[in-house]
Amino acid sequence: MTDIPENQVIDFEISKAHLEATGWSLNQFERSNPFDCHAVYVYDFRFQTPELFTFPINDFNDRIVEQPAQVLATVLEQWMKKRHRKKLKGRERRALPGVIADYVKASQSYRAWLTRKSANDRMHAFIDLPPVFNPTAP
């Protein structure tokens, strides 16, 4: 972690230790203090993998959503499956956080949160990826 103030490195290490102790991994954390970020928790029931993605608040707020939630959900489900199988390509890997942020911003829950939040509130959103239903399974 280069060019990050020491206090942010310490905050990051403390956050990472707390999360790992409770079974979460701190992914996609790059440029900001974890306390200055929105957090999105993604739980993939297909693989029983919890992951946390953090987004600097200003970066998240500045994103413009260009796809409907249904399209973003399909991409997210496919890419998380590829990620789990370590087959996510470089471009997809770099774009995944944006898909997650856009999916959250396209949701009704996010729009409802916007009407109730205070100026300095940080968002914590949860995305559950359900297991795929297989009607031919015994």
Domain count, the chain: 1
- 1 part of a folded domain: no
- 135 part of a folded domain: no
- 137 part of a folded domain: no
- 44 part of a folded domain: yes
- 38 part of a folded domain: yes
- The per-residue pLDDT for range 28-43, each reduced to its tens digit, is 455 556 678 899 999 9
What does the alpha-carbon distance between residue 48 and residue 130 come to, in Å, rounded to a whole number? 10
The pTM for the full model equals 0.77
- 124 part of a folded domain: yes
- 110 part of a folded domain: yes
Query: Would you place residue 1 in the very low, low, confident or very high pLDDT band (cuts 50, 70, 90)?
Result: very low
- 109 part of a folded domain: yes
Range of the domain at 61: 6-129
Cβ atoms of 101 and 55 within 8 Å: the answer is: yes
CA 42 to each of CA 5, 8, 24, 94, 120: distance values in angstroms, whole numbers, following the listed order: 28, 24, 10, 17, 23
